[in-house]
């Protein structure tokens, strides 16, 4: 069935709420508005306001309430209007959500999903456009998912909701309107820690997240047509757990790697991926690993300036040629 990214998220949430009465949604404007991108629109009509709960503008408060509900046996899906707002609740997420199961010796279950969107594309400026995934990967106890297609959004979200551990489920605002095939199966799940080889190739590996997956595929097709260069594109899909085997096997085959993401290049997730490649596949490398990410400045409001800060498709094209010593 063809669905948009946003529709896939909404449908899986509804299906899981029908399947398990312990699943409920909470967040700012989730009841009538359905969130600013409509991912919960209409759910209150079916499930009522007890299970689709509007919250005050206090991320620390309702993330903490979600943790408490999870500790008591519920399965909350907490929506952050912007992933940037997780910074307001970082103490709850890092010091409470991530550590509670550990503190109780593994006896506590924390089936909590914290989902929200991030990224550029709408001119939302410095405090509403950040890509913060690397923050959550740093703290043990959190799983981190970053779907790039409607199918992956559906399969990974269902896995997240059914998981007994806290999951930070990071969407992208520019992907919500994208459409794709989604299995019509109420039990369709994608396991965490399993990357997807989106395009096979032999000359260079490109590891990309969110919107850069399709941009990498587009540039791979262009490189093949114009230069005869065969590029393999990998979407990790989850950063914690991270499927390093798929990445390493690809790099061992191609001998070259480019990592591209929208987050700032300095200390971004690309640095960790590059480190893993360097430590565990160094003898196979024919060139240094190249990292692409946003320049080290706040995200601008102006769309032209925004594009000047984050990597563009041509940057991927040029990076692959550089990895092949062709530029």
- pLDDT tens, 208-222? 999 999 999 999 999
- pLDDT score recorded for residue 71: 96
CA–CA distance, 161 with 220 (Å, rounded to integer): 34
CB 176 within 8 A of CB 5: yes
Give the closest residue to 40 by CA, choosing from 67, 2, 14.
Answer: 14
CA–CA distance, 92 with 233 (Å, rounded to integer): 36
Buried b (16+ CB within 10 A) or exposed e, 189-223: bbebbebbebbebebbbbbbbbbbbbbbbebbebb
CA–CA distance, 197 with 250 (Å, rounded to integer): 9
Could you say which residues of the chain have pLDDT below 50? none
Q: Which tokens in the block code for residue 10?
A: 């909404």
DSSP state of 301: S
- pLDDT score recorded for residue 327: 66
CB 113 within 8 A of CB 69: no
CB 76 within 8 A of CB 20: no
pTM, two decimal places:
0.97
| Runs of H (alpha helix) within 72-184 | 90-91, 100-103, 133-137, 150-162
Task: Name the residues annotated as catalytic.
Answer: 59, 128
Q: What phi and psi values does residue 46 have, to the nearest 5 degrees?
A: -85, -40
How many other CB atoms are there within 10 angstroms of residue 262's CB atom?
A: 27
């Amino acid at each position: 069935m063809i669905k948009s990214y946003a529709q896939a998220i909404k449908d899986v949430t509804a299906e899981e709420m029908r399947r398990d009465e312990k699943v409920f949604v909470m967040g700012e404007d989730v009841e009538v508005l359905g969130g600013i991108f409509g991912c919960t629109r209409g759910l209150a009509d079916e499930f009522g306001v007890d299970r689709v709960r509007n919250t005050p503008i206090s991320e620390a408060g309702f993330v903490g309430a979600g943790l408490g509900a999870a500790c008591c046996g519920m399965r909350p899906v907490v929506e952050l209007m912007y992933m940037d707002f997780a910074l307001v609740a970082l103490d709850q997420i890092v010091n409470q959500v991530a550590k509670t199961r550990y503190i109780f010796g593994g006896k506590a279950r924390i089936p909590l999903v914290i989902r929200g969107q991030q990224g550029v594309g709408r001119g939302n400026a410095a405090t509403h456009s950040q890509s913060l995934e690397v923050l959550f990967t740093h703290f043990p106890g959190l799983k981190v998912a970053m779907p790039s297609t409607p199918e992956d959004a559906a399969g990974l979200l269902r896995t997240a909701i059914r998981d007994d551990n806290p999951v930070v489920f990071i969407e992208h605002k520019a992907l919500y309107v994208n459409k794709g095939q989604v299995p019509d199966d109420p039990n369709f799940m994608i396991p965490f820690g399993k990357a997807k080889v989106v395009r096979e190739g032999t000359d260079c590996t490109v590891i990309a997240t969110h919107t850069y997956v399709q941009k990498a595929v587009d540039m791979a097709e262009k490189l093949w047509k114009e230069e005869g260069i065969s590029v393999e594109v990998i979407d990790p899909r989850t950063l914690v757990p991270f499927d390093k085997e798929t990445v390493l096997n690809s790099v061992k085959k191609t001998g070259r790697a480019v990592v591209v993401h929208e987050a700032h290049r300095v200390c971004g997730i690309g640095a960790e991926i590059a480190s893993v490649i360097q430590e565990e596949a160094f003898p196979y490398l024919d060139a240094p690993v190249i990292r692409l990410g946003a320049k080290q400045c706040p995200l601008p409001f102006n769309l032209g300036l925004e594009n000047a800060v984050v990597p563009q498709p041509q940057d991927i094209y040029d990076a692959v040629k550089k990895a092949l010593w062709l530029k």
